Structure 1
């Protein structure tokens, strides 16, 4: 490797180490699971519903989780930089070319090599996260099951990257306003992925079935009818084999739309709490958040491709020769494209998280209004926080980059406010 490349790699590595140390300090000193003094002793104070041991564990776990999250992006970036500056991408391309195999075979092999290298080099961070989750009793997933899920991740990721990059390089090779053409092509792809996610991809990881409690399912369906939603079933997923955490969600579009409850949620929450969660998910449906999410993905794709296209052309002109990239459509540039996507996705998180958090707040309000009460909302958020040992009031950077939901503090305070206003409304004389 030329001396100047060694120098560049050393700079990248030192910058990465410096960033890791700064984020470790930030994660450690901002991890105490506390709320402002004005809320001390209230239902929003974790000291009132966490045991002392759980509070201590949440503080330690919160710091570790936050550090791993903030390392995940730069760690992935460093991998792609190594593939480019270290010469591996160019070496793989040239070695495959010497085999004289057709491009239709060489390109899938090249993508496989890039994906495999990325997967293996990122694995230490994944193992660390899994080990920490197991240590603190959040994950219940056996090692072999975890490995299987990671291999499924790899397979799905490989097929996706192969399909997208093949189309991208072909469009780029045609010249013109290729970034705009890619955006037009991305629109049906985004819709297609949203459609198949719940019916094709999700079942690769977990087993989905009809809700095991028929009485509860009927009450949920009655609630859906009250909201004007035509539904005939609620899905249950067997997440207890993997985690003690709780969740419920709605995904898919059109005929693939599903409202899903984790079985851990069914086991740990009472009926009123579950109905509130379901009412929240119905709020997403009624307010067309999934459709708005699709439109948001299309819009952000245009911004990403416009900005990313400009940066891609500039970087290839500036450093392409040193990385062995001969043209914009050279397969050697795949790590560069993946690097740009990863960086732009990370940088845009505060915006996308803010939009998502507002949607979640609106769904919370809808759910309480549909039920006609916030009864159970406070205990529900408390139980959810304890099950995952969450920080109920995360620090600023964590809220910006990870906060796609309001904090537990915000949600509990909202429930308290709703219940107070609801009681005041009920206390008013008729007609006043």
Structure 2
């Protein structure tokens, strides 16, 4: 416990204080002088109160984001070094001799306690989202979503560790590359079932009600050779005031989906621009490129996890009461390492994502040719989500998968002016 205080709790508190000072007193989100008064300036499309709320909420949201990762790592570390992970494994072994059932019992207790430990941060995020009226979801409905997420994650993790730990026990040196090979079809299978099995667990999806607008969206899709026979609407207005649209799934389960909040808040031309952007992802093969890049990147992740897990067990295995990698008790090590690696790689993956989003913006403005609709849509998205128009560089690097709104609006305005 003393070591936990020294290497875990105290550094975490110091980090939280430094993070707070940076976000509230150091980080600069002021607009460049040359953009003041342009359509990228929030003062031209937001009230002073909206700007103040957006700045406040962005700081709070960023604070909890950067706090959540080290907190998650601390939870995994505590479970390992306080012996809880080994205890969960021993409970499972006492109940049954069947390894598949042992895996399920271990995953249940591990998931239960990690979820309980991380729940306070989730509750804080939910509370502030409600305070700033981004979320309008009642607490019972929010709890229901958390329970669905818990059981969904438990089942998926159970399946994964049955396979992974079987491979560990049979192929101690090469389990990581065999796991990666099996990971490839799993990714595509999950993408295939997500729109029809996973997403409906959380929200209701139904054919678009506005048939005239649906026909225009389908005509836009047909114009760029995207095959679609319907557009789906999802009832997000029961949960949030934010707006969004996306194309999801692969093969016969691919879907064009619009949040009903988007349909309520945007004009028709703005909606068509957003759909042109989403179709741009499809036409420019961003889904294929993204999945391919993710799969290639995951090979490096699996290898690093394999090497670093061996090093951690060699150095701290005795303290964690874990002797071999193929023990279920080692699972928090794997999850800890994956989380750290993904966070460390996020500046690169976010940069790639921002580039794809930018090219989709270019595609959409070329397809629609409607500058006002594009800028109006981005301005309304900013207002609805209380987004920070020009985030600090560090926030942009680690958090933004889309270009900041100041860049998107400024680019579209200049792009149209240059081509006219």
Q: How would you bin the TM-score normalised by the shorter chain?
A: over 0.9
The answer to whether 1:222 aligns with 2:230 is no
Aligned partner of residue 376 in structure 1, secondary structure: helix
Which whole-Å CA distance do the structure 1 matches of 2:398 and 2:29 have between them? 18
Residue 334 of structure 1, aligned match among 331, 334, 337 = 331
Does the residue aligned with 1:209 lie in a helix, a strand or coil? strand
The residue that corresponds to 1:426 in the other structure is none
Determine which of 117, 121, 125 is the counterpart of 1:121: 117
Residues 208 and 231 in structure 2, CA contact (< 8 A), matched pair in contact too: yes
Q: 1:374 to 1:30 in 2, by over 3 A?
A: farther
Counterparts of 1:254 and 1:95 in 2: how far apart (Å)? Answer: 43
**Which residue of structure 2 lines up, in the alignment, with residue 279 of structure 1?**
276
> Aligned residue for 1:136?
132
Show the counterpart of 1:430.
Answer: none
Gaps of 5+ in 2: none
Corresponding position of 2:293: 296
Distance 1:58 1:231 in 2: 37
**Partner-residue secondary structure (3-state), 1:250:** strand
Deviations 1:380-431 (A, max 9, x none): 11111011111011111211111100110011011101220232xxxxxxxx
1:367 corresponding residue in structure 2? 364
Q: In the TM superposition, what are the counterparts of 1:24-423 in structure 2 within 5 Å?
A: 24-29=20-25, 34-99=30-95, 101-174=97-170, 175-423=172-420
Per-residue Cα deviation, 1:55-74 (whole angstroms, up to 9, x for no partner)? 11111111100000001111
- Once residues 164 and 102 of structure 1 are traced to their aligned partners in structure 2, the CA distance between those partners, rounded to angstroms, is 17
User: Is the contact between residue 357 and residue 403 of structure 1 (CA under 8 Å) also seen in structure 2?
Assistant: yes
**Contact 1:33–1:55, Cα closer than 8 Å, also in 2:** no
Structure 2-normalised TM-score?
0.97
Q: Which moved more, 1:223-232 or 1:353-362?
A: 223-232
TM-score, normalised to structure 1, is 0.94
Helix, strand or coil: the match of 2:258? strand
Distance 1:191 1:408 in 2: 32
CA distance in 1, matches of 2:215, 2:29: 38
CA distance in 2, matches of 1:61, 1:46: 15
Instruction: State how many pairs are aligned.
Output: 419
Determine if contact 1:68/1:125 at 8 Å carries over to the other structure: yes
Contact between 1:210 and 1:233, CA under 8 Å: does it hold in 2? yes
**Which whole-Å deviations, capped at 9, do the CAs of 1:9-36 have from their partners, x for residues lacking one?**
4321111111111111122135675311
Mapped to 1, the partners of 2:17 and 2:79 lie a distance apart of 24
Cα RMSD for the two superposed structures: 1.3
* 1:299 positional shift: 0.7
Structure 1 spans left out of the alignment, 5+ residues:
424-432
